[in-house]
Amino acid sequence: MPELPEVETIARILRGDAHPNEGATPPGVGNARAFRDAPREESILNREILGAEIFWPKTVAAGEPGFVARITGQSIRSVGRRAKFLIIQCSEDALIIHLRMSGDIVLRPAGTPAAKHDRVTWQLSGGLDMAFNDTRKFGRVWLFDDPAALFAGLGPEPLEDAFTPEGLYDALQTRSRQIKPLLLDQGFLAGVGNIYADESLHRARLHPLRIASSITPAEAAALHTHIRAVLEEGIARNGSSIDWVYRGGEFQHDFRVYGRDGEPCYNCGTPIRRIVVGQRGTHFCPTCQPA
């Protein structure tokens, strides 16, 4: 599932803030070939939405009745992110997309035939089409005049100034849950998923089964530092590509524990272990992250 760095990368590419290097794997937008073939002025900003087509009605979670008519004619003003949600702010409404397990935003030259797993497509001015491609059909699209209610239960953004070591420590002290599933709780901290939780805990030398309220102020400060560092590095590397769903990122080459079960820890040489915590595969070093 795309996490904060992957969604942020997609948002930056759609804004035109990031561009694929010539001859290199395009970052961010999953379908590399389709992205490569898109017009070079790939930013969707200031384009008018000329029309839309829904191929899988359940994908449109809110606003489906009249969705096409309502969004047609609106102009795209900005592209951003909240947690793992992609926010495309239009002239009247906010188009919200959650990629879930296999969702992907694909840019193509206008008139390109829809792909097999396209669930919703939008025709944009300037000769560009945008598609939400989702093999497993778990992804969702919303159209809101005000999306505040959708985001009401989300925790703080880990890269914003409001997320502080002191605030993290205070929040941990009120929880008796294990730290790994707590970090995955979007109501506690927005945007962190399985990959970046494992990597952050390893760098902070915290066992994934530690009870949150047992974490000291110094440990909370270290965790705060490494959550931000891991996410920032992930964004700098255009996210992580670990299967066919999200391609183009390179942070997977820097994983210290995730997906490295049985391989030696880069710090101490101890074999990395994999356990299941809260139904999620969890990787850690038994020596660097003592129970």
Q: Catalytic residue numbers?
A: 2-3, 84, 280
How many Å apart are CA 245 and CA 103, to the nearest integer? 7
How many Å apart are CA 184 and CA 198, to the nearest integer? 10
Q: Give the number of other CB atoms < 10 A from CB of residue 20.
A: 20
CB 208 within 8 A of CB 178: yes
What own/partner pairs with CB < 8 Å and gap ≥ 24 does 250-253 have? Answer: 250/25, 250/27, 251/5
Q: Which position has the token pair 């003592």?
A: 290
Beta strand 60-62 with 140-144 is parallel
How many Å apart are CA 244 and CA 101, to the nearest integer? 11
CA atoms within 13 A on the CB side of 252: 13
Beta strand 140-144 with 103-109 is unpaired
How many Å apart are CA 44 and CA 35, to the nearest integer? 13
Phi, psi of 188 (to 5 degrees): -95, -45
How many Å apart are CA 47 and CA 49, to the nearest integer? 6
How many Å apart are CA 186 and CA 198, to the nearest integer? 16
Q: How are strands ordered across the β-sheet holding 128-134?
A: 49-54, 118-124, 128-134, 103-109
